Amino acid sequence: MNNQKITPCLWVEKDAMIVAEYYLSIFKGGKLKDYQLFENMPGADGSGSDGRFDTALIELAGIEFSILAAGPMFKFNEALSLVINCKDQDEVDYYWDALTTNGGEEGVCGWCKDKYGLSWQVVPVEYFDLIHSKDTVVREKAIINTFKQKKLILSELK
């Protein structure tokens, strides 16, 4: 049973299982909780679509995500992103590389997109201490250097 009140739904064009496997390969310890293929369904808009879509339910880092593969009508954009809180630079490097290779895209200030266009911010948790520091020199250096980086390099933010 899911005790999560809100479950993000990731709408992708096709192949919910392939998308699920992609995210499960990146987030170790994740789980495929459900997969369903729906065939011979009437087109939602009456246009005579092929009547086929599939869904998957995955758990990544303790959070459930629903994947709906139902066509190209909607695309991800940066108005919503997911933040990965990383324990250290090695973990930042791992997630950054995993998300930006094979069709992903680097952004600035720790943001990137994966090959499906989903936006992520990959952040070392110590970063938040730096940008919220009561020491204005520490805080300003971290913020100014953030704007100079794509992948966040913690040693350069300090």
Task: Tell me the pLDDT of the chain averaged across its residues.
Answer: 93
Residue 48 pLDDT greater than 80, yes or no = no
Pairing of strands 63-69, 9-12: parallel
Query: Which residues are CB-contacts of 123 (< 8 A; sequence separation ≥ 6)?
Result: 83, 84, 85, 86, 92, 110, 152
- Please name the residues in contact with 131: beta carbons below 8 A apart, sequence gap of 6 or more: 139, 142, 143, 146
CA distance 137 to 47: 60
Confirm if 139 and 132 have CB atoms less than 8 A apart. yes
pLDDT for 4 beyond 90: no
CA angle 25, 28, 29 (to 5 degrees): 120
pLDDT band at 50 (very low <50, low <70, confident <90, very high): low
pLDDT at 15: 96
Quote the CA–CA distance of 130 and 118 in Å, as a whole number: 27
Give the integer Cα–Cα distance in Å for 30 and 17.
Answer: 14
* pLDDT above 90 (res 119): yes
pLDDT in tens, 132-153: 999 999 999 999 999 999 999 9
What pLDDT, in 10s, does the model give residues 61-115?
A: 999 999 999 999 899 999 999 999 999 999 999 999 999 999 999 999 999 999 9
Task: Determine the pLDDT at residue 1.
Answer: 61
| Cα–Cα dist 149/111, whole Å | 10
Domains of the chain: 9-69 (3.30.720), 82-156 (3.10.180.10)
